Amino acid sequence: MPETITVKVSDGTEISAYTARPLGQPKAGVIVFQEAFGVTDHIKRVTDRFAHEGYLSIAPELYHRTAPAGFAAKYGDMETVKPHSSALTLPNLEADAKAAFDWLKSQGVSKIASVGYCQGGRTSYIANSTLPLSAAASYYGRIAPDLLDRAKDQRAPIILFWGGADKGIPLENARAVADALRTAGKPHTHIEFSEAQHGFNCDDRPSFNPEASEQAWGITLTFFKKHLF
C-alpha cells in the first residue's frame, strides 16, 4: 500500500518519502534512491515492485532542502534539475539515507538493503559506506573517480550494473570502481550490459532497454534474497 510520509533528519530538516508496504509482514526493507530527476513516477513504480516482492520500501526525496515536496522533473530537463543536484552534499546524503534507514528500523524491519539509479546509484554506494546495510545495489552511478576512496568502507556486499553504451560514464570509470572494491577486498558483483545506455532501467526514458532492465531486476531480487532473507 503506497503512502507519502515525512521523516525527521538529524540536521533538523524533514524529508518527504514515498513508501510502499507489502501484504503481510515485511521480509526485509529496501531504500530506493532516486534518479537525478527526483522521485518520479518510475521510481515510485520501482518502490511498489519491491513491496510486491515482500519488502517494506521507502524512496526519500533527496532534494527536500531546495525543492518543494513532491518535486519531479521531466526526463532530460537538466536545467530544472541542476540547481538541486548541484546543491547535494555528502553529509546531507548520508543524513538522508540514515533517516530512511532509521524509519525502516522503527517499523520492525531487521535487515535492510539500498538500491539506486543514476544519481541514486551513487547514493546507494555512499549509503553502503556509512550504514549497517545487509546488501546494496547501484545502477549506473557516478562513483569514479571522486568516491573510489569509499571502496574500503563498503559495509555490505554490493552489486553494480553498468551500460556498455553509456556515453556519460566511461567504461574505464566503471571498471575503476570494480578494481577499487577488489583491491579493498570487498564482496562485489560487477555486471555490464554491452548494448545498454545510461538509464536503461527506466521505462519512461528513450534509453530504456527492456531486456537489460528485466535481467537486472531478476539478478537484483536474487542478490537481495540471498543477503536479506
- The residues annotated with a catalytic role in the active site are 118, 166, 198
C-alpha cell at 23: 501484504
* H or E element that contains 93: helix 90-106
SS3 state of residue 55: strand
User: Is there a contact between 113 and 133 (Cβ–Cβ < 8 Å)?
Assistant: yes
- The span from the CA of 38 to the CA of 75, in Å, is 10
> C-alpha distances in angstroms, 158 versus 17, 36, 101, 126?
24, 21, 17, 11
User: One-letter amino acid identity for 48?
Assistant: D
Cβ-proximal residues to 52 (8 Å cutoff; 6+ apart), any chain: 22
User: One-letter amino acid identity for 19?
Assistant: T
